[in-house]
Amino acid sequence: MKKVLFVIILLLFSASLPAEEVMMFTANQYFMSRIYTLSTNGTVQNYFSYDNYHFCDMEVVNNELYAVDAFAPRLYKVDIDTGDLEVIIDDWSLFYFYDVAFDGTYFYVTEWDLNRYDINGIKDGTASFSEDVYGSAWDGQFLWMLNDNAQIKCWDVSLWPNLIEITANAFSPPSSTCRGLWFDGTYFWSTEGLDGSLGYIYQFDYSGQVIDQILAPAWVGFGVCKLDQGVSIDDPYQDNALKLTVAPNPFMNDISVSFLLPEQEKISFELFDIRGKKIDTLLSGQCSAGMNRYQLNILNLKSGVYFLKFITEDSVEIQKIIHL
């Protein structure tokens, strides 16, 4: 009886462990790809780097992350805590995947034609299709695809393998450089794939109207989605949090920054405008472990919104600042 009671208490405790909603973001530079875990305001919590991969669009199934690879015709399940990859689709009759969507039963990926696979990666046929696609999403009724002409088109796949385009539903994404497509149950998500400057992550409605936008943490973004991540009581990111404070905000010319470092390391502060263009490096150098405080003198700025990017050796944090 005591053993049964202990199991019940353990299960109740496990079910009540806290969880937080996080954003997942993919970015690619040449032959290196990264998968980022971001807080909902865009602050980097963690990332994993992968050499010789090119992760693109992502999907969430049962609160688990899946990502496609443009260097191989593969779909991976990604462990966001360890970065480990599990191959789900491995179809070498094709060449690459840029997009993925899941309708509750099947994954859809395009490579010239539209292909679909069950949850175990078993192929369920091909539908004739002639567009290049940068992202796909399932909204509960239709399959939506972002193509290389910056159009999001709507497709009825209920008569598979026959596809019916719902032309009246087509619309343009917030930016012509949007990559990846995901649906959160109400709105779509996509990210700008700019090379050489930071783009934005967009949340938008069925007309392309922006609901929210967040500065991306890296160049050449290619996918974004959201899921719930369990927070352990011993979570190292709680112990080693940067705890960045910026004041005053809004500011005139001087702004004070304070932050906590778990160990001595090199840091830098970079300033970006509202469009993600880098303006200046305000501070760069070695900092000691513990609490650090600096006064940053920012001159010759027009009034408006800017972004302060705080970079350490293994983390990035971005805060929006307003210059009066």
Please check the confidence at residue 221 and state whether its pLDDT lies above 70. yes
Residue 180 contacts residue 221 (beta carbons within 8 Å): yes
SS3 156: strand
Report phi then psi at 111, rounded to 5. -155, 90
CB atoms within 10 A of CB 3: 7
- What was the pLDDT predicted at 306? 85
Q: Within this chain, do residues 254 and 153 fall inside the same structural domain, yes or no?
A: no
Report phi then psi at 239, rounded to 5. -70, -35
The token pair that represents 251 in the structure block: 């500011």
Please check the confidence at residue 7 and state whether its pLDDT lies above 50. no
Domain boundary residue, one of 199, 230, 261: 230
Q: Where residue 196 sits, what CATH number does that domain have?
A: 2.130.10.10
In angstroms, how far is CA 147 from the centroid of its own chain?
19
318 vs 282: CA distance, rounded Å: 14
Q: Within this chain, do residues 226 and 251 fall inside the same structural domain, yes or no?
A: no
Q: Within this chain, do residues 106 and 172 fall inside the same structural domain, yes or no?
A: yes
Q: Within this chain, do residues 114 and 214 fall inside the same structural domain, yes or no?
A: yes
Answer yes or no: is 76 within a domain.
yes
Report phi then psi at 18, rounded to 5. -70, 150
Q: Within this chain, do residues 86 and 215 fall inside the same structural domain, yes or no?
A: yes
pLDDT band at residue 246 using 50, 70 and 90 as cut-offs: confident
Region 68-80: mean pLDDT is 95
Range of the domain at 116: 19-230
Q: Within this chain, do residues 112 and 77 fall inside the same structural domain, yes or no?
A: yes
Q: Within this chain, do residues 250 and 225 fall inside the same structural domain, yes or no?
A: no
Region 46-62: mean pLDDT is 94
On whether the pTM is more than 0.85, the answer is no
Whole-number average pLDDT of the chain: 87
User: Could you report the per-residue pLDDT of 280-300, keeping only the tens digit for each?
Assistant: 999 999 998 888 889 888 888
Please check the confidence at residue 311 and state whether its pLDDT lies above 50. yes
User: Could you report the per-residue pLDDT of 80-139, keeping only the tens digit for each?
Assistant: 999 999 999 999 999 999 999 999 999 999 988 999 999 999 999 999 998 999 999 999
303 vs 58: CA distance, rounded Å: 37
Answer yes or no: is 12 within a domain.
no
29 vs 52: CA distance, rounded Å: 10
Q: Where residue 281 sits, what CATH number does that domain have?
A: 2.60.40.2550
pLDDT band at residue 9 using 50, 70 and 90 as cut-offs: very low
Output the DSSP codes for 10-77.
HHHHHHTS-EEEEEEEEEEETTEEEEEEE-TTS-EEEEEEEET--EEEEEEETTEEEEEETTTTEEEE
Non-local CB neighbours of 224 within 8 Å, separated by 6+ positions: 23, 24, 25, 26, 58, 180, 182, 189, 190, 191, 201
Please check the confidence at residue 3 and state whether its pLDDT lies above 60. no
Report phi then psi at 89, rounded to 5. -115, 135
Q: Cα–Cα–Cα angle for 91, 25, 227, nearest 5°?
A: 90
- What was the pLDDT predicted at 238? 41
Q: Within this chain, do residues 81 and 118 fall inside the same structural domain, yes or no?
A: yes
Total number of domains constituting the chain: 2
Residue 181 contacts residue 188 (beta carbons within 8 Å): yes
